[in-house]
Chain A
Amino acid sequence: MTEQRRVLILLVLLSCLMRSIGHAEESRPSLPFGTQEIGLTAGYLLPHRLTTHHTTKQSGPAIMPSWGMVLTDPVGTGWYAGQVILGAEIVYIEFERPVLTHGVGFTPKIKYLFQGAYSIRPYVEFAGGPFYTDLAGRIPEESARFNFVLTAGGGLSWFITPRFALNAGYRFHHISNAGTRFPNLGLNSSLPFGGFSFFF
């Protein structure tokens, strides 16, 4: 990519940001109770070996289509004012390392979307659910193919329009089988991600 093209993309992004900040007051509070959200998030899994027993450097891309529903009008005052969103997402991970394998899971998700400032709304989220992967059995940390995935993290939603937002953030990702089989050391990862959401 040439330098000029990079500058051009940067300028386009900046103009979008300025434009969205310009009408931010209209776009910010437009998620009434009952609004539904569908989104698509993608990221890349990076390994964390938390103990000396962890040896696997699992990594690979992850894709997470999601659905959610705004359960409250804006609550609270000040910096913590926000809305509760309950939903679910499907997690698909393609482990590129240590062996090309796959994993798929379904996780109910709860998210707190802060009111934020202008068109930027931060959020924190927590999700967990069953996860099936054929990586297990090929690594020393996990023996069962049926596992659970737990994720917690946060991000920023940039509302380009009142109904469309770009998201970026970070999640901590944990996969283990809840002691149903041994060994069960668990796989821990960082998952920086980006994506978008439609609200309707």
Chain B
Amino acid sequence: MVNDFSRASVMAACGLVLAATTGCSRWIELMTPASTPGAPVQLIAQQEQVPLILDRITVTRNGANQPVSLDTERGVLASIRDIGLFARLGAPGSADLSANEKVIRAHVFVDEALDPHPGAAALKGFAIGASMFLLAPVVSLEYDYAAHVALELVRWDGQVKRYESQSAGTARYHLFGATPVLIDELKGHVTDACWTALMRQVVQDTPFYLASSAPLSDSPIRSVSVKGRRPDVSVTSIVPISATANK
């Protein structure tokens, strides 16, 4: 009797440990972009470095425009700062830049695609629930995140270089391993992979960004393009039009 009870207790404890360890597990699969060969470390004179102004960041998620968070801006600046190519980084209208200074202007476009697989999550969730959570350590759920990042660098003489990179990842988790941190980790890995690839491309073009690469434009007047925002083509707008029939 006592043996039966202790055997059952041990088995229950093992089951609990197994469920707790496997039911909470999570992992991330990253599909990194085809790696460009890393540029060799280059030494450049300090007076050859020019400042970079982060002019604009555009973020879209599943096709819809998103407000740009301070964290995104900081992340972009940190990635650019890490390569050490530019003298200093700043926001548009930085007071410490003189009008006739050679400067690089950066435009960043981030297109994110999120897919939490809601249908599969609901179905698998139903199955897990129906099994009284016994299937929780066996059935895994997925969350996909992909990012396409484009960086446009405009040199002081108007020449533009565009760099692009994309990366995707899937977070797989068991029910009890679901946490907002998991998605932050996934986004962090994917974004990091994108920026690493992007910065490799920029470093390969180091001579293009050196102060001696081009003279400062003589013309003090610079032109800018002014335009309205493009309408979101995916949203159908219905404009009521009154019509009268002529008899």
Chain B, residue nearest A112 (CB): B122
> In the complex, A110→B122 CA distance in Å?
8
Q: How far is the CB of A101 from chain B (nearest CB, A)?
A: 25
CB pair B132 A84 closer than 8 Å: no
Contacts of A109 in B (CB 8 A): 129
Contacts of A129 in B (CB 8 A): 132
CB pair B128 A86 closer than 8 Å: yes
Contacts of A113 in B (CB 8 A): none
A72 on interface, CB distance cutoff 8 Å: yes
CB pair B132 A32 closer than 8 Å: no
B175 on interface, CB distance cutoff 8 Å: yes
CB pair A75 B125 closer than 8 Å: no
Q: How far is the CB of A89 from chain B (nearest CB, A)?
A: 11
> In the complex, A18→B129 CA distance in Å?
37
Interface string of B92-128 (1 = CB under 8 A from A): 0000000000000000000000101110011001101
Do A108 and B118 contact each other (CB < 8 Å), given the known contacts A34-B178, A34-B182, A71-B141? no
Contacts of A88 in B (CB 8 A): 129, 133
B183 on interface, CB distance cutoff 8 Å: yes
CB pair A33 B133 closer than 8 Å: no
> In the complex, A76→B122 CA distance in Å?
13
A184 on interface, CB distance cutoff 8 Å: no
Do A108 and B175 contact each other (CB < 8 Å), given the known contacts A33-B183, A72-B116? no
> In the complex, A76→B116 CA distance in Å?
12
CB pair A71 B121 closer than 8 Å: yes
CB-contacts of B190-226 with A (<8 A): none
Contacts of B132 in A (CB 8 A): 106, 108, 129
A73 on interface, CB distance cutoff 8 Å: yes
Q: How far is the CB of B57 from chain A (nearest CB, A)?
A: 22
A69 on interface, CB distance cutoff 8 Å: yes
Contacts of B239 in A (CB 8 A): none
B181 on interface, CB distance cutoff 8 Å: yes
Contacts of B70 in A (CB 8 A): none
Tell me if B's interface is mostly helix, strand, loop or mixed. Answer: helix
A32, A35, A110 — most chain B CB neighbours (10 Å):
A110
Contacts of A106 in B (CB 8 A): 132
B45 on interface, CB distance cutoff 8 Å: no
CB-contacts of A30-66 with B (<8 A): 32-35
CB pair A69 B178 closer than 8 Å: yes
B179 on interface, CB distance cutoff 8 Å: yes
B122, B175, B182 — most chain A CB neighbours (10 Å):
B122
> In the complex, A112→B125 CA distance in Å?
12
Chain B, residue nearest A107 (CB): B129
CB pair A34 B125 closer than 8 Å: no
CB pair B179 A71 closer than 8 Å: no
CB pair B118 A34 closer than 8 Å: no
B231 on interface, CB distance cutoff 8 Å: no
CB pair A33 B180 closer than 8 Å: yes
CB pair A84 B175 closer than 8 Å: no
CB pair A69 B175 closer than 8 Å: yes
Q: How far is the CB of B237 from chain A (nearest CB, A)?
A: 15
Contacts of B175 in A (CB 8 A): 69, 86
Do A72 and B129 contact each other (CB < 8 Å), given the known contacts A33-B116, A34-B183, A86-B175? no
Given contacts A70-B178, A72-B117, 17 further A-B contacts (CB under 8 A): A32-B183, A33-B116, A33-B183, A34-B182, A34-B183, A69-B176, A71-B122, A71-B141, A71-B178, A75-B118, A84-B121, A84-B125, A86-B125, A86-B128, A88-B133, A108-B129, A108-B132
Q: Which residues of A contact B (CB under 8 A)?
A: 32-35, 69-73, 75-76, 84, 86, 88, 106, 108-110, 112, 128-129
Can you name 13 A-B residue pairings with CB atoms under 8 Å? A32-B183, A33-B143, A34-B179, A70-B178, A71-B141, A72-B117, A72-B118, A75-B118, A76-B118, A84-B125, A106-B132, A108-B128, A110-B122
